[in-house]
Structure 1
Amino acid sequence: MERFINPFSDVGFKRIFGQEDTKDLLIDFLNDLLVNERIITDITFMDKEILPVFKGFRGAIYDIYCTDSNGTNFIVEMQNGYQTYFRERALFYLSHIITRQGSAGGEWHFDVKAVYGVFFMNFRLNSIPHKLRTNVILADRETHEQFSDKLRFIFIELPSFTKQEDECDTNFDKWIYTLKNMEILKSIPFKDHKKVFKKLEKTVDLASLDTEERERYDESIKVYRDYVNTIDSAKKEGRKEGEENKQIEIARKMKAEGLSVGVIARLTDLSMDAIEKL
C-alpha cells in the first residue's frame, strides 16, 4: 500500500509544486536547481491560460507558470511520454512568454524579463550520451560565451538518474531521488538535512488528502496509469512487429539460398503460406 502520492500524476505534481500554501517547496527546488546562479525569495503563480494551447492528448503534460520577485518567468512541467517535436514545443512555449511581454504598452523598450523552462521528463531525450540534466542557453557558437541570459532551458531526464539514497551528494540529487522514488518510499528521506522536506512529507502523505482531494487524485492516477499502460503496450507491439520483420527478412534470405518452405517454417515460426508469398 502506497503512503505517498505519485508526483507523475497531474494532481500529485501540482500538489507539490503548484499550490500557494506550499510554494516554498517550489522555491526550494528552483534554488537547488539554480544553485550559484540565482536566488529566488518569492514567486507568484500566474494564470496558466497565458500559455499556448496545443490540441490533442494532454493527460500527461502538467504545467506550472510563475514569476519571481524580479519578474523572471518560470515554466515548470512534467512530461511522461516522448514527443517527436518536444524540443520545438519547449522553444515555442518560452518564446510565447517572451513575445507577450511586448504588449506592455508604448513605453516598453524591449526590457525583456528572463524566461526559464524546467522540463521534468519521464523518458530519455535521445541525446548521446544520456545525462540527467541538459542545460540550453543562447551562446556564441565559436567562443561559447553566453549571448543573452533571457532564454534558458533545463531538461531533467529522470530515467538517467540512478543514484541510491546514500549517493545523493547535492540538494538537487536529493530532490530528484525523492521525486523519482516517492510512490514506493515509506518515509521522506533527507529531512535532517533539508527542513523543507518535513513539509514535503506532510504535503504528499495520502492520509492528508480530504475526500474531495482523494477523489481527484484517484482519477488523476487512473489517467496516468492508463497512459503508461498505453505507452508500454505500444512499445511491446513495436518490439513484436520488429521481431516479425526480422524473421521475415531471415526467411527471405533462406528462401533465396534454396531452403525448403518446411525447413524455413520450422526455423522461423512463420507460416508456410506466409513464406510462400515472400
Structure 2
Amino acid sequence: MNKTRKVSRNRPIPEAFRGKVYLDPTYDPAFKELFDSEDALRDFLDGVLGLEGDDKIKTLRFSFDKAVLFRVPQRSKVVFDIFATTGSGRFLNVEMQRLENDFFVDRTILYKAFLVIKGRKEMEISPEFKALTPEQQRYRRYLLPETISIWICDFDLPDAKGEYRDEWALYSRHAVREGKTVPLSGKNRYIFLSVPNFTKSADEVDCAADVWLYLLNHARDGGELPDFGSGIVEDALERIRVENADDELLQAQELNMTTKEDYESWMAGKVIKARAEGEIVGESRGKAEAEKKASDRTAKRIDYLRSMGVSEEIIAGAAAIK
C-alpha cells in the first residue's frame, strides 16, 4: 500500500526533472530516499546476499551518512552512505559510486578497514559480549564480526569488465594455485554491482537483487516502472517519484548532479598521470597548462550541467569548484 507523502513545494519543479517520473537513484539524495525504509533495505540486502528462508535478515538498524572517526594517530574519518547492522551481528556499508577514479580500489579497502574496526568496537559494547566473563572476553580479543561492503557502481567493475556483479575476499595464493578457491575468512566480503551492466529486462528479473538493480538502472529512463508485485518496491518508487518530492529533496538532487568529492578524486588521478607522462613540465609552463586545463574542465562541466537542464544557480556553484 502506498504511503501518503505530504509535499511542501514553493517553487516549480526544476527543468532537469520535468517530464521525468522518478528522480535518478544513482545520485545520493534519491538513492537514500529509495532505501529510506527498513523493509526496502532489508529486501535489497537479502537479495544481494542470497539469503532465503530462516537465513533472511530478521532485524536491521541503519543510518545514512554515518561518519566513522578514529585517531591513528591523526584524526581520520570516512562517511558511509549507508551503515547497517543486523540482529545476527553483521555489519554492512552500502556505497553508491557514480564516477570511476584511479583510487577506487584504494578507497574500497580504506572504507572496509574502517568498517571492520567500527564493527569490532560495536561488538565489544554489545550486551552479548558484555555478558561474557573477563576471561572469555580476553580469549576473544581478536575475534572479528562479519563485515560486508557493498559498492553499487555506475560504471564497469575494476576487474570484471562487462559483468554486473563481482566479489572480493581474502585468499591463500597457494590454495588458489592448488585449485581451492574458498576464502580464508567468510567474515570479510566485498560485493560490487555495476548498474549499467545489468541488462535484464523486466520480464527476466527473477530475484530481489535483480529487482533493485533494475530500479537503479531504469528509474532515470523517464517513464513508469513496474513494482514487480511488491508493496515494498511500490513504496520505494513513490519515495523517488518527482511529483512527491519536496523542495528540499529536489534542491539536494539538483546540486548533487555534480559532486565535489568524486570529481576531485577523479581529477587527482588525472593530474598524477599527467605528471608521470611529462605533460606538466617546468614551473611556468606547468602553471599555464594547469590553468588552461582547469578552464576547459569548468567549461565542460557547465556544458554538461546545462545539457541536463540544471538551473543557473546550481551551475554557478558547481563552476566555483576548483
TM-score by length of 1: 0.69
User: In the aligned structure 2, how far is the partner of 1:102 from the partner of 1:218?
Assistant: 37
Which of the residues 81, 87, 96 maps onto 1:63? 81
Cα deviation per residue 1:6-65 (whole Å; 9 max; x = unaligned)?
A: 112111111112x3xx221111111111124741122212571116636xxxxxx97111
Residue 205 of structure 1 is matched in structure 2 by 241
Residue 28 of structure 1 is matched in structure 2 by 43
- Structure-2 change in CA distance of 1:152 and 1:207 (3 Å): same
Q: Secondary structure at the match of 1:112?
A: coil
User: In the aligned structure 2, how far is the partner of 1:221 from the partner of 1:157?
Assistant: 19
Residue 254 of structure 1 is matched in structure 2 by none
1:119–1:156 CA contact under 8 A, matched in 2: yes
User: In the aligned structure 2, how far is the partner of 1:126 from the partner of 1:191?
Assistant: 31
- Asked if 1:53 is matched to 2:77, the reply is yes
Q: Cα distance, 1:75 vs. partner?
A: 0.6
Q: Cα distance, 1:118 vs. partner?
A: 0.5
User: In the aligned structure 1, how far is the partner of 2:160 from the partner of 2:46?
Assistant: 27
2:25–2:219 CA contact under 8 A, matched in 1: yes
Cα deviation per residue 1:109-168 (whole Å; 9 max; x = unaligned)?
A: 223111101001111124255311001223443321232111100011222222222222
Q: CA RMSD in A?
A: 2.9
- Structure-2 change in CA distance of 1:133 and 1:211 (3 Å): same
- Structure-2 change in CA distance of 1:175 and 1:182 (3 Å): same
Aligned-residue sequence identity (percent) comes to 25
Which amino acid in 1 is paired with 2:206? D
User: In the aligned structure 1, how far is the partner of 2:214 from the partner of 2:115?
Assistant: 31
Residue 175 of structure 1 is matched in structure 2 by 212
- Asked if 1:4 is matched to 2:22, the reply is yes
Residue 145 of structure 1 is matched in structure 2 by 182
Cα deviation per residue 1:217-269 (whole Å; 9 max; x = unaligned)?
A: 33223659x96xx99xx9xxx9xxxxxxxxxxxxxxxxxxxxxxxxxxxxxxx
Residue 187 of structure 1 is matched in structure 2 by 224
Residue 83 of structure 1 is matched in structure 2 by 101
In the alignment, structure 2 segments of 5+ residues that lack a partner are 1-18, 70-75, 126-133, 275-322
User: In the aligned structure 2, how far is the partner of 1:128 from the partner of 1:6?
Assistant: 25
User: In the aligned structure 1, how far is the partner of 2:88 from the partner of 2:81?
Assistant: 21
- Asked if 1:44 is matched to 2:68, the reply is no
User: In the aligned structure 2, how far is the partner of 1:6 from the partner of 1:66?
Assistant: 23
After superposing the two structures, state which structure 1 stretch, 6-15 or 162-171, moved more.
162-171
| Structure 1 residue runs of 4 or more that deviate by more than 6 Å after TM superposition | none
Residue 72 of structure 1 is matched in structure 2 by 90
TM-score by length of 2: 0.60
2:155–2:195 CA contact under 8 A, matched in 1: yes
Q: Secondary structure at the match of 1:67?
A: strand
- Structure-2 change in CA distance of 1:123 and 1:101 (3 Å): closer
User: In the aligned structure 2, how far is the partner of 1:188 from the partner of 1:210?
Assistant: 21
1:31–1:39 CA contact under 8 A, matched in 2: yes
Q: Cα distance, 1:4 vs. partner?
A: 0.6
Q: Greater relative contact order (Cα 8 A, min sep 6): structure 1 or 2?
A: 2
User: In the aligned structure 2, how far is the partner of 1:39 from the partner of 1:173?
Assistant: 17
- Structure-2 change in CA distance of 1:213 and 1:166 (3 Å): same
Q: Secondary structure at the match of 2:228?
A: coil
Larger Rg: 1
Q: Cα distance, 1:67 vs. partner?
A: 0.7
Q: Secondary structure at the match of 1:5?
A: coil
Q: Cα distance, 1:101 vs. partner?
A: 4.7
Aligned length: 220
The 5 A counterparts of 1:104-123 are 104=124, 107=137, 109=140, 110-123=142-155
- Structure-2 change in CA distance of 1:221 and 1:82 (3 Å): closer
Which amino acid in 2 is paired with 1:25? A
1:6–1:183 CA contact under 8 A, matched in 2: yes
Which amino acid in 1 is paired with 2:249? E
